[in-house]
């Protein structure tokens, strides 16, 4: 699962049981660092996690991957594994060779400004001038400022090859207070681990890219999920009460402790249109219902983009929300729905929910669902029979603190 969010960053206050920033040292000298921070996207607030570890004396290595290259014959050569000493993780010249997908980015430049400065610099080198309007868009007064502004802009892009440093930098930015009102665009992935003791899958939202967003950027939080489902997955029994269908399935996600994929339970909701909705909206739901209906023992797969809902959702006031007196006054013409909406602010908040709400098919699934070779037995997480490799960290040794 991967996600995209646009919202404001914050760190919750520390309490006796909740520590948003923690460094825990073990007898071996291993230090576990963890940052928990919030991204508020409109009515939804999500907690993101960045954790990593290192030895207190700084020994050890960073295992990463190099960029793809082009050989003398013009053929593309795939990247390969590379090792950088942990003590050189911020200074080694090899960092320039690390593949982009293995880096963690935090960019504090305004959207599009660096690109504009680069193009402006190219124009000046070609002997062409910039207009006053172009300079204004870049926040500059004259052409002599372009080179210095571009260099400063490049320094606003911070790249890391470990989450150890990434966590510290994110905390530094939030704690500075300089960006408390700023919006950021975040990309990241879901990470999953199964606890044998608790028989539970733990999920974390881990950011890999954080960019300063435009002041007027629309706040949102979406994820792309490949859901596996069978004949028992589609639940329509709650339609009348909840006004939505539920699809209870699984995602195949990598578990670091097990060194392999595990089936992670996931539920996707399909909101139902109101009685006054047009035929197109009603056909849309029927089409989705058909996609998730399975009449044999097979397991299907469907990629979906979902809204990540976590909080009390704002909803428009409708007649079925009115009191008896309001309905009577409405029928008598004493008041109108506009009067009621104006008095109550136009909308109300419902109960707090946490769910993935269907938006549209994911890329690669516009032709519909796909067959799989999975069986129901594959959707069960089985006990680890053999001992974990030496050095594997037990992620659940401090479950009482969660």
- The number of beta carbons lying within 10 Å of the beta carbon of residue 194 is 22
Residues 6+ apart with CB under 8 A from 75: none
Q: Tell me the pLDDT tens digit for each residue of 253-289.
A: 999 888 899 999 999 999 998 777 788 988 999 999 9
Q: Tell me the pLDDT tens digit for each residue of 191-211.
A: 999 988 888 999 999 999 999
Contact call for residues 48 and 207 (beta carbons, < 8 A) = yes
Lowest mean pLDDT among 4-18, 69-83, 301-315, 328-342: 328-342
Buried b (16+ CB within 10 A) or exposed e, 329-338: bbeeeeeeee
Q: 340 pLDDT exceeds 70? A: no
Residues 6+ apart with CB under 8 A from 23: 31, 32, 33, 34
Q: Where are the beta strands (DSSP E) in 161-199?
A: 184-195
Residues 6+ apart with CB under 8 A from 399: 195, 197, 198
Q: 312 pLDDT exceeds 60? A: no
Pairing between strand 104-107 and 200-212? Answer: parallel
Binned at pLDDT 50, 70 and 90, residue 348 comes out as very low
- Model pTM? 0.84
How far is Cα 84 from Cα 213, in angstroms, rounded to an integer? 32
Give Cα 400 distance to the centre of its chain. 26
Lowest mean pLDDT among 91-105, 113-127, 257-271, 316-330: 316-330
């Amino acid at each position: 699962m991967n996600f995209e969010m646009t919202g404001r960053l914050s760190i919750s206050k520390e309490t006796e049981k909740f520590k948003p920033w923690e460094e825990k040292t073990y007898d071996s000298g291993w230090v576990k660092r963890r940052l928990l921070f919030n991204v508020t996207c409109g009515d939804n607030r999500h907690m993101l996690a960045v954790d990593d570890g290192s030895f207190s004396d700084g020994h050890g290595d960073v295992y990463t991957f190099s960029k793809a290259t082009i050989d003398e014959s013009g053929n593309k050569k795939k990247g390969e594994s590379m090792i950088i000493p942990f003590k050189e993780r911020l200074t080694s010249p090899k960092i320039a060779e690390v593949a982009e997908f293995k880096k963690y980015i935090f960019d504090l430049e305004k959207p599009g400004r660096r690109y504009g400065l680069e193009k402006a610099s190219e124009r000046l080198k070609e002997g062409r001038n910039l207009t006053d309007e172009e300079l204004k868009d870049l926040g500059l007064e004259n052409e002599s400022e372009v080179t210095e502004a571009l260099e400063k802009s490049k320094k606003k892009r911070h790249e890391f090859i470990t989450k150890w440093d990434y966590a510290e930098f994110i905390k530094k930015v939030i704690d500075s207070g300089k960006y408390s009102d700023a919006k950021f665009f975040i990309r990241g992935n879901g990470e999953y681990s199964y606890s044998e003791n608790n028989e539970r899958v733990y999920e974390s939202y881990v950011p890999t890219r954080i960019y300063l967003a435009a002041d007027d950027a629309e706040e949102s939080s979406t994820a792309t999920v490949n859901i596996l489902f069978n004949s028992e997955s589609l639940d329509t029994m709650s339609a009348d009460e909840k006004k939505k269908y539920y699809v209870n399935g699984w995602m195949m996600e990598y578990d670091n402790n097990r060194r392999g994929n595990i089936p992670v339970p996931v539920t996707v909701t399909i909101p139902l249109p109101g009685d006054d909705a047009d035929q197109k909206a009603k056909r849309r739901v029927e089409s989705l219902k058909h996609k998730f209906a399975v009449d044999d023992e097979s397991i299907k797969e469907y990629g979906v983009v979902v809204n990540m809902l976590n909080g009390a959702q704002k909803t428009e006031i409708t007649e079925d929300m009115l009191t008896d007196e309001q309905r009577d006054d409405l029928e008598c013409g004493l008041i109108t729905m506009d009067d009621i909406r104006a008095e109550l602010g136009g909308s109300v908040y419902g109960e707090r929910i946490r769910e993935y709400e269907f938006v549209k098919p994911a890329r690669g699934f516009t032709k519909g669902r796909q067959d799989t070779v999975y069986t129901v037995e594959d959707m069960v997480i089985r006990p680890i029979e053999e001992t974990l490799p030496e050095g594997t960290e037990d992620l659940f040794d401090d479950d009482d603190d969660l």
